[in-house]
Amino acid sequence: MRELEVHITNKSLSKSYKISIDDEFAVVFKKDLALFSDKNGNIDAKDLLEAFVKKSYEQFINAKELNRLIKKIEENR
């Protein structure tokens, strides 16, 4: 396992951002965001990084599994 050092800079403390996303995705995103934010909807930089790593790892595992399934299907043709 490799350890990475990540530097996060914050030029705008306590700033909120508005994003535009698809309505269907917004429902899922809001639920996911609630897992990492406090009761007021705020998220700490450390928690944001942890969430990003978790989601990136999930994507990595999903891509790996998809490639495995594609290979299996191609072998059975």
Tell me what pLDDT residue 6 has.
Answer: 65
* Residue 57 or residue 15, greater confidence: 57
> What gap in Å lies between CA 48 and CA 29, rounded to an integer?
13
- Axis-axis angle for helices 23-36, 45-75 (nearest 10): 120
Domain ranges of the chain: 44-77
The pLDDT tens digits for 31-67 are 988 888 888 778 888 888 898 999 999 999 999 999 9
Calculate the alpha carbon distances from 12 to 8, 17, 27, 33, 56 in Å. 12, 11, 27, 20, 25
Cβ atoms 43, 37 nearer than 8 A = yes
Q: 2 pLDDT exceeds 80?
A: no
Cβ atoms 29, 19 nearer than 8 A = no
pTM for the full model?
A: 0.69
